[in-house]
């Protein structure tokens, strides 16, 4: 199981890195999103992969870390997802603005629309 | 008066005065002068109070702990040397203020002048009174900075700006070298405290690091005191107002280097290296400065070069490693300050009253301004070393020392008397030129102004200083003697030699040298008459040696050519290459960090493979690779595949007990996809052509593919190695145990977000808000590009009959989604949900309306004020935190209780809920703001296209 998830992180990250080095803005945006999946999963893996562990406490009790899912990586990843969303939106707008200003979609603003 | 009080007042008063002076109105010339004069005088009184204790043999000291664990304290300390320098700084400072009151024109921005002058005075006081080396360097740099501001005071003149910049570049670079040297010195001595450093002389001189330390420290001193080869900045600093020159170049700025050398003399001097560096530099400066001074046509230029020459003389004296030379050096420093300040002021008076400083135009001022002429003549005579004036006595001491030193075997030593005499000849010549050129000869007719005597108060400072020159020259032992003695004793201690301050020592060799210098100077002046009256610019023999040109060339090389070459060689403006390098560097850094630990799988036994997860990630990997493959030519397909990978990630979160993550990821996925879809139609059309790529392009792609595979493999290896190791006991226990008992919620993730780590969340929502505002601002300014896709057939005409059935459903969903959002928000503390998810959910409700009805329809029927939502949300979240302070708890401490709502169940009423409500408001507002900003682009007119718009570039989404 660990191997599958490690491979998944690698494939997501590798695809993201590949797109990161492409010349078109849209490729970059997709690449960053893929990369953020990989990184989120990697951070999440710090809590390991408990199947069926209760994530929510029973009222009036305190949890035992051996039984419950590790909440800390989850909290970190949750904020990372939201921030990732915000930056994707920002990047999308920069992409549109660059397209409007340069007439193309090259990451360096080179070339025309083709 | 306690030590602490007057010591800190001596430094603090000028700075305080500077602040007040800066705030006074622009036309308050008299008030400014009163203030600055009062401050200077009061500081002088403080120095006098301290001097009383210093003269009695004490060393007043005031220490404030700063970083005691590093051995660093703020130390103010006044010994003899410091008190004499401090008295010069404040005393001459007072006279300069008085003079400046009449010199500065009403049009000049006076508050700035006096504020800088006082701040500079404070920095000088800080420098001389520092008892800690690092603190001393700090004030040293402050003097560089404020002298820069003072020299460049007339900002409108390019000469002032260039001169100021040059002075700052040279002296501040020297200051950096000094800082490095002082760090070394402190390292050798084991302390930065001046007293301890001064006690460690033998250790310092025998240390292997002595030479680098010496060179670095002397670099600082020589640049500051304008010694060869760093002398060239001083003449260009003459673009400053004359009171500034009189202050900076007589008693203060350039004497800082001398002060430093005298200060460290007991520990650094006494070696061959000290002698050779300083004697060479000092000798060249002494001779070249005096020689060049003769050929200056500008009175201030003449004084500038003479200052350089006199500083060279003092440096030479300090280099001789003899206590008697030390006495002469300190004595000449004091004398030079008095006669040079008065000469600068006299020059300023001439400039002020005649409108020029050019010796070729000036002539015969003796008749129109007789008093000023007499004063300048006496001061110039002191500069030339005429008997019965103070300059004579210190020059005699210099000659004596030169003769004494010449008994040493080296060539340098035996040349000293000759060099000293020649420099004496030159000094007489340029002093004669100053007097004769300006005051004698026929009366000049074509001066810009009719010359007359200055106001009496403007002349007073000159009178005081010239009186000082005369009285010290006649009665040295009775006037300056005690002060000199205190200063010398503080440096030399028990090694203080016997010396006599007398005018007449009988007929001896130094006297003969003086007479030769006087006679030779007169003869040289007569011989040069023809050349000087011809008015040729430049210095004979040294015409090619222009310090400024060399400096400019070096600066152009460093800041322009070298920088550009390096940028061309090492930089790239292409984003692709930058990202490529970043990935490679990150990879290499990770490998390097892992090398010592041998990256191998851990010992934890793997859990069994679940076929469902395997299939899930088979699909997920296919999606990711497909997205990467299709992103160039098939954007929609790539977007859908990206969504696929996102959904698999989302399912992974569910599978492994993270419902909160899955929920948030799902919602983000929806919103992101819609936003990207909205953006797609502005991107240019790209048609795949088979076999179009060239070989280099293909090679580049193979290289990138290799990098990507390596990066992916690295990530896999890293994750695998991590996952197969036992998870260390983290802080999870802390949160799990306290989530309910102290946070009042069963959903630990949410409790962490809104309670334990609430401050982080507050920061995060601020970031989200900033991003939304940036998006909004960017899109306000930019016009969209022409659209690449024409309007679909269904949207043509007035029928608008597209998406009718889905639109009905979407509208009906609006209240449902709203309720779900509210539900998610309220239950967040105990069950998966919370402000983030609820905010995204609510924004999806709005999103659907835009999709169903179009921008115009939605905004006719529904008004969302995203900015208000964001503002309210942020205020609510921050207000919850402040509320905790109000009731006396730390920021963001939460309070909780459960409200029983009968059959509806129990509602957790925690202050964290309010905070979560704030998060909700902000996330909702920000998302909707981004959405609206992008949606509005379609309503707008398009940017005037840089390319001819495609045939069907009309219409829009609505």
Q: What is the mean pLDDT of residues A67-83?
A: 89
pLDDT at B942 over 60: no
Question: B576's torsion region: left (phi>0), alpha (psi -120 to 50) or beta?
Answer: alpha
What are the backbone dihedrals phi and psi of residue B625, each rounded to the nearest 5 degrees, phi first?
Answer: -65, -40
Q: Which residues of B396-415 are buried (b: 16+ CB within 10 A; e: fewer)?
A: bbbbbbbbbbbeeeeebbee
Which segment of B250-254, B699-703, B736-740 scores lowest on mean pLDDT? B736-740
Q: Nearest residue of B to residue A107 by CA position?
A: B575
What confidence category does residue B844 fall into, taking pLDDT thresholds of 50, 70 and 90?
Answer: very high
B661: Cβ contacts below 8 Å, ≥ 6 apart: A44, A74, A77, A78, A81, B650, B653, B749
Q: What is the mean pLDDT of residues B709-715?
A: 93
- Tokens, residue B302: 């003449």
Nearest to A112 among B714, B836, B947 (CB): B947
| A112 neighbourhood in chain B, CB within 8 Å | 946-947
pLDDT at B936 over 90: no
Helix or strand run (H / E) with residue B174? helix B158-189
Q: Are A102 and A65 in contact (CB under 8 A)?
A: no
The DSSP 8-state label assigned to residue A24 in this structure reads: B
The DSSP 8-state label assigned to residue B747 in this structure reads: B
Q: Would A34 be classed as within a structural domain? A: yes
pLDDT at B948 over 70: no
Q: Could you give the 3-state DSSP secondary structure of residue B444?
A: coil
Q: How large is the C-alpha radius of gyration of chain A?
A: 19
| B772 neighbourhood in chain A, CB within 8 Å | 86, 89
- What is the pLDDT, as a whole number, of residue B98? 93
The CATH number that applies at residue A82 is 1.10.287
Round to whole Å and give the CA distance between B297 and B235: 12
Q: What is the mean pLDDT of residues B834-853?
A: 90
Residue A14 to residue B708, Cβ atoms within 8 A = yes
Q: What is the mean pLDDT of residues B641-667?
A: 93
Q: Could you give the 3-state DSSP secondary structure of residue B743?
A: coil
Handedness of CA B111, B112, B115, B121 (dihedral sign): negative
| B613 neighbourhood in chain A, CB within 8 Å | 1, 4-5
B61 has which bridge partners? B77
- What is the pLDDT, as a whole number, of residue B463? 94
Round to whole Å and give the CA distance between B780 and B767: 20
| B933 neighbourhood in chain A, CB within 8 Å | 93
What are the backbone dihedrals phi and psi of residue B154, each rounded to the nearest 5 degrees, phi first?
Answer: -85, 80
Round to whole Å and give the CA distance between A69 and B304: 78
- What is the pLDDT, as a whole number, of residue B373? 92
- What is the pLDDT, as a whole number, of residue A44? 92
B193 has which bridge partners? B132
Chain A window 43-102: which residues touch B at a Cβ cutoff of 8 Å?
44-65, 68-72, 74-75, 77-79, 81-90, 92-97, 99-102
| A16 neighbourhood in chain B, CB within 8 Å | 624, 628
pLDDT in tens, B898-912: 667 667 666 666 778
Q: Nearest residue of A to residue B663 by CA position?
A: A78
Residue B464 half-sphere exposure, CB side, CA atoms within 13 Å? 17
CA distances for B643 relative to B2, B77, B522, B627, angstroms:
76, 71, 96, 9
pLDDT at B947 over 50: no
- What is the pLDDT, as a whole number, of residue B950? 43
- Tokens, residue B775: 């998006």
Provide the total of helices (H) and of strands (E) in chain B, helices listed first: 37, 4
Give the residue with greater pLDDT, B441 vs B128: B128
B36: Cβ contacts below 8 Å, ≥ 6 apart: B17, B21, B97, B114, B117, B118
pLDDT in tens, B566-577: 888 887 778 888
Q: Nearest residue of A to residue B760 by CA position?
A: A79
| A21 neighbourhood in chain B, CB within 8 Å | 576, 579-580, 583, 704, 707-708
With an 8 Å Cβ cutoff, is A35 touching chain B? no
Round to whole Å and give the CA distance between B710 and B706: 6
Q: Which domain holds residue A22?
A: 2-50+69-102
CA distances for A21 relative to A32, B221, B706, angstroms:
11, 52, 12
Provide the terminal-to-terminal Cα distance of chain A, rounded to the nearest Å: 45
Q: Would A76 be classed as within a structural domain? A: yes
pLDDT in tens, B451-481: 888 888 899 999 999 999 999 999 988 888 8
Q: What pairing do the DSSP bridges indicate for beta strands B72-77 and B61-67?
A: antiparallel
Residue B444 half-sphere exposure, CB side, CA atoms within 13 Å? 26
Q: Would A85 be classed as within a structural domain? A: yes
Q: Would A63 be classed as within a structural domain? A: no
What confidence category does residue B282 fall into, taking pLDDT thresholds of 50, 70 and 90?
Answer: very high
Residue A60 half-sphere exposure, CB side, CA atoms within 13 Å? 1
Round to whole Å and give the CA distance between B405 and B425: 20
Round to whole Å and give the CA distance between B224 and B234: 9
Q: Nearest residue of A to residue B774 by CA position?
A: A90
pLDDT in tens, B73-115: 899 999 999 999 999 999 999 999 999 999 988 888 889 999 9
Instruction: Please report which residue ranges of chain A form alpha helices under DSSP H.
Output: 2-20, 25-44, 71-102
Round to whole Å and give the CA distance between B324 and B260: 18
Q: Could you give the 3-state DSSP secondary structure of residue B78?
A: coil
pLDDT at B215 over 60: yes
- What is the pLDDT, as a whole number, of residue B563? 86
Q: Are A18 and B576 in contact (CB under 8 A)?
A: no
| B727 neighbourhood in chain A, CB within 8 Å | 46-48, 70
pLDDT in tens, B626-642: 999 988 889 999 999 99
With an 8 Å Cβ cutoff, is A32 touching chain B? no
Which segment of A85-99, B359-373, B933-947 scores lowest on mean pLDDT? B933-947
Percent of chain B with pLDDT over 70: 94
- What is the pLDDT, as a whole number, of residue B799? 56
Round to whole Å and give the CA distance between B800 and B856: 13
Round to whole Å and give the CA distance between B506 and B511: 8
Largest distance between two CA atoms of chain A:
64
Round to whole Å and give the CA distance between B208 and B223: 25
pLDDT at B927 over 80: yes
Which segment of B163-167, B344-348, B477-481 scores lowest on mean pLDDT? B477-481
CA A102 to chain B, closest CA, distance in angstroms equals 8
Largest distance between two CA atoms of chain B:
122
What are the backbone dihedrals phi and psi of residue B890, each rounded to the nearest 5 degrees, phi first?
Answer: -60, 160
Residue B908 half-sphere exposure, CB side, CA atoms within 13 Å? 28
Compute the CA torsion angle B708, B712, B714, B717 (nearest 10 deg).
-160
Round to whole Å and give the CA distance between B138 and B144: 10
Q: Are B634 and A26 in contact (CB under 8 A)?
A: no
CA B873 to chain A, closest CA, distance in angstroms equals 16
Residue B681 half-sphere exposure, CB side, CA atoms within 13 Å? 21
CA A111 to chain B, closest CA, distance in angstroms equals 11
**How many beta-carbon pairs under 8 angstroms link A with B?**
340
| A86 neighbourhood in chain B, CB within 8 Å | 767-768, 771-772, 926
Q: What is the mean pLDDT of residues B568-593?
A: 88
- What is the pLDDT, as a whole number, of residue B558? 85
Q: What is the mean pLDDT of residues B794-820?
A: 81
pLDDT at A113 over 70: no
B268: Cβ contacts below 8 Å, ≥ 6 apart: B204, B205, B213, B214, B217, B261, B274
Round to whole Å and give the CA distance between A100 and B785: 4
Residue B740 to residue A46, Cβ atoms within 8 A = no
Nearest to B719 among A19, A42, A107 (CB): A42
What confidence category does residue B692 fall into, taking pLDDT thresholds of 50, 70 and 90?
Answer: low
Residue A78 to residue B660, Cβ atoms within 8 A = yes
CA-based nearest residue to B230, from B239, B220, B244: B220
- Tokens, residue B309: 């020459």
CA A50 to chain B, closest CA, distance in angstroms equals 5
Q: Would A108 be classed as within a structural domain? A: no
Round to whole Å and give the CA distance between B4 and A35: 61
pLDDT in tens, B390-442: 999 999 999 998 888 877 777 778 888 999 999 999 999 999 999 998 898 88
Q: Could you give the 3-state DSSP secondary structure of residue B73?
A: strand
Here the ipTM equals 0.95
Which segment of A99-108, B498-507, B812-821, B891-900 scores lowest on mean pLDDT? B891-900
pLDDT at B953 over 70: no
What confidence category does residue B532 fall into, taking pLDDT thresholds of 50, 70 and 90?
Answer: confident
- Tokens, residue B268: 């650094």
pLDDT in tens, B483-498: 999 999 998 888 888 8
Q: Would A57 be classed as within a structural domain? A: no
Angle at which helices B110-129 and B133-151 cross, to 10°: 160
With an 8 Å Cβ cutoff, is A106 touching chain B? no
pLDDT at B138 over 60: yes
Q: Which residues of B207-226 are buried (b: 16+ CB within 10 A; e: fewer)?
A: beebeebbebbbbbbbbbbb
Q: Would A78 be classed as within a structural domain? A: yes
- What is the pLDDT, as a whole number, of residue B797? 59
Angle at which helices A25-44 and A71-102 cross, to 10°: 170
- What is the pLDDT, as a whole number, of residue B944? 47
- What is the pLDDT, as a whole number, of residue B956? 37
- What is the pLDDT, as a whole number, of residue B941? 56
- What is the pLDDT, as a whole number, of residue A111? 58
Round to whole Å and give the CA distance between A16 and A38: 8
Q: What is the mean pLDDT of residues B842-860?
A: 86
Q: What pairing do the DSSP bridges indicate for beta strands B61-67 and B896-900?
A: unpaired
> Could you give the number of structural domains in chain A?
1
- What is the pLDDT, as a whole number, of residue B798? 59
CA-based nearest residue to B454, from B353, B364, B373, B368: B353
Give the residue with greater pLDDT, B907 vs B214: B214
| B787 neighbourhood in chain A, CB within 8 Å | none
CA B781 to chain A, closest CA, distance in angstroms equals 9
Q: Would A110 be classed as within a structural domain? A: no
- What is the pLDDT, as a whole number, of residue B559? 83
B513: Cβ contacts below 8 Å, ≥ 6 apart: B399, B417, B420, B421, B424
What confidence category does residue B14 fall into, taking pLDDT thresholds of 50, 70 and 90?
Answer: very high
């Amino acid at each position: 199981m660990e191997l599958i998830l490690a491979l998944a992180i690698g494939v997501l990250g590798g695809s993201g890195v590949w797109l990161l080095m492409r010349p078109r803005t849209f490729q970059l945006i997709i690449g960053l999103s893929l990369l953020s999946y990989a990184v989120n999963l990697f951070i999440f893996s710090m809590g390991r992969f408990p199947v069926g562990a209760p994530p929510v406490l029973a009222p009036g009790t305190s949890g035992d870390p051996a039984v419950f899912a590790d909440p800390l990586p989850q909290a970190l990843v949750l904020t990372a997802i939201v921030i990732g969303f915000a930056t994707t939106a920002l990047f999308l707008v920069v992409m549109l603005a660059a397209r409007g200003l340069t007439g193309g979609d090259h990451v360096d603003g080179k070339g025309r629309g083709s | 008066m306690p030590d602490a009080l007057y010591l800190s007042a001596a430094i603090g008063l000028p700075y305080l005065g500077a602040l007040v002076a800066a705030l006074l109105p622009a036309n308050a010339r008299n008030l400014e002068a009163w203030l600055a004069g009062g401050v200077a005088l009061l500081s002088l009184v403080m120095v006098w109070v301290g001097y009383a204790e210093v003269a009695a043999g004490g060393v007043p000291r005031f220490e404030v702990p700063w970083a005691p664990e590093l051995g660093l304290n703020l130390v103010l300390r006044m010994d003899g040397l410091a008190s004499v320098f401090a008295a010069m700084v404040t005393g001459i400072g007072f006279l300069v203020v008085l003079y400046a009151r009449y010199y500065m024109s009403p049009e000049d921005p006076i508050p700035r002048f006096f504020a800088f002058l006082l701040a500079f005075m404070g920095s000088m006081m800080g420098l001389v009174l520092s008892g800690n080396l690092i603190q001393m360097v700090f004030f040293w740099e402050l003097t560089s900075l404020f002298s820069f501001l003072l020299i460049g005071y007339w900002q409108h003149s390019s000469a002032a700006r260039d001169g100021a910049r040059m002075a700052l570049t040279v002296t501040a670079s020297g200051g950096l070298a000094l800082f490095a040297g002082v760090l070394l010195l402190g390292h050798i001595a084991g302390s930065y405290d001046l007293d301890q450093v001064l006690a460690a002389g033998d250790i310092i001189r025998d240390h292997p690091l002595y030479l680098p330390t010496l060179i670095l420290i002397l670099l600082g001193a020589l640049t500051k005191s304008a010694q060869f080869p760093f002398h060239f900045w001083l003449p260009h600093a003459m673009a400053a107002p004359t009171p500034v020159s009189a202050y900076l170049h007589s008693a203060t700025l350039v004497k800082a280097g001398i002060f430093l050398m005298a200060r460290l003399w007991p520990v650094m001097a006494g070696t061959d290296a000290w002698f050779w560096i300083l004697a060479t530099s000092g000798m060249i400066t002494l001779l070249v400065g005096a020689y060049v001074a003769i050929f200056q046509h500008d009175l201030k230029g003449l004084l500038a070069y003479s200052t350089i020459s006199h500083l060279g003389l003092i440096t030479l004296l300090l280099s001789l490693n003899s206590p008697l030379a030390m006495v002469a050096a300190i004595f000449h420093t004091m004398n030079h300050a008095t006669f040079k300040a008065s000469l600068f002021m006299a020059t300023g008076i001439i400039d002020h009253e005649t409108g020029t400083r050019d010796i070729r135009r000036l002539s015969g001022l003796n008749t129109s301004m007789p008093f000023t002429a007499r004063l300048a003549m006496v001061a110039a005579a002191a500069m030339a070393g005429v008997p019965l004036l103070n300059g004579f006595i210190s020059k005699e001491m210099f000659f004596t020392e030169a003769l004494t030193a010449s008994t040493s075997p080296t060539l340098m030593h035996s040349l000293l008397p000759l060099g000293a005499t020649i420099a004496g000849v030159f000094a007489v010549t340029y002093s004669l030129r100053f007097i004769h050129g300006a005051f004698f000869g026929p009366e000049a007719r074509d001066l810009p102004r009719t010359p007359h005597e200055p106001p009496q108060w403007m002349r007073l400072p000159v009178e005081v200083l010239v009186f000082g020159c005369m009285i010290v020259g006649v009665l040295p032992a009775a006037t300056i003697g005690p002060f000199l003695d205190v200063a010398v004793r503080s440096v030399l201690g028990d090694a203080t030699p016997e010396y006599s301050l007398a005018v007449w020592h009988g007929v001896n060799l130094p006297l003969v040298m003086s007479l030769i210098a006087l006679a030779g100077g007169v003869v040289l002046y007569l011989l040069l008459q023809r050349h000087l009256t011809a008015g040729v610019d430049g210095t004979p023999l040294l015409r090619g040696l222009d310090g400024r040109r060399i400096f400019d060339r070096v600066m152009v090389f460093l800041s322009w050519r070298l920088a550009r070459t390096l940028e061309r060689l090492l930089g790239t403006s292409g984003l692709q290459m930058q990202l490529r390098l970043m990935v490679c560097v990150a990879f290499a850094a990770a490998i390097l960090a892992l090398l010592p630990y041998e990256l191998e799988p851990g010992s934890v036994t793997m859990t069994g493979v679940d076929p469902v997860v395997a299939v899930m990630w088979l699909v997920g990997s296919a999606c990711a690779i497909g997205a990467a493959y299709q992103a160039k030519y098939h954007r929609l397909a790539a977007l859908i595949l990206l969504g696929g990978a996102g959904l698999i990630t989302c399912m992974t979160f569910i599978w492994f007990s993270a419902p909160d993550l899955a929920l948030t990821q799902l919602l983000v996925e929806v919103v992101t996809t819609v936003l990207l879809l909205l953006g797609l139609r502005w991107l240019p059309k790209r048609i795949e052509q088979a076999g179009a790529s060239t070989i280099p392009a293909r090679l580049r792609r193979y290289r990138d593919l290799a990098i990507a595979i390596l990066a992916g493999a690295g990530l896999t290896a890293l994750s695998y190695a991590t996952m197969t190791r036992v998870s260390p006991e983290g802080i999870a226990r802390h949160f799990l145990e306290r989530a309910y008992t102290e946070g009042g919620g069963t959903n630990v993730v949410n409790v962490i977000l809104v309670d334990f780590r609430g401050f982080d969340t507050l920061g995060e929502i601020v970031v989200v808000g900033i991003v939304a505002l940036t998006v909004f601002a960017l899109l306000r300014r930019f016009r969209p590009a022409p659209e690449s896709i024409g309007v679909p057939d269904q949207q043509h005409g007035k029928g608008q009959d597209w998406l009718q059935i889905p639109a009905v459903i979407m509208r009906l969903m609006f209240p449902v989604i709203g309720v779900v959002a509210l539900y998610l928000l309220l239950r967040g503390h105990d069950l998966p949900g919370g402000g983030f998810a609820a905010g995204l959910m609510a924004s999806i409700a709005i999103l659907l309306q835009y999709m169903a009805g179009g921008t115009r329809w939605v905004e006719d029927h529904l008004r969302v004020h995203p900015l208000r939502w964001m503002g309210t949300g942020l205020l609510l979240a921050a207000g919850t935190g402040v509320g905790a302070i109000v009731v006396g708890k730390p920021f963001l401490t939460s309070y909780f209780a459960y409200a029983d709502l009968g059959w509806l169940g129990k509602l957790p009423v925690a202050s964290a809920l309010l905070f979560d409500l704030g998060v909700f408001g902000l996330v909702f507002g920000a998302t909707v703001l981004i959405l609206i900003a992008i949606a509005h682009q379609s309503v707008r007119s398009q940017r005037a296209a840089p390319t001819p718009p495609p045939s069907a570039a009309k219409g829009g989404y609505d």
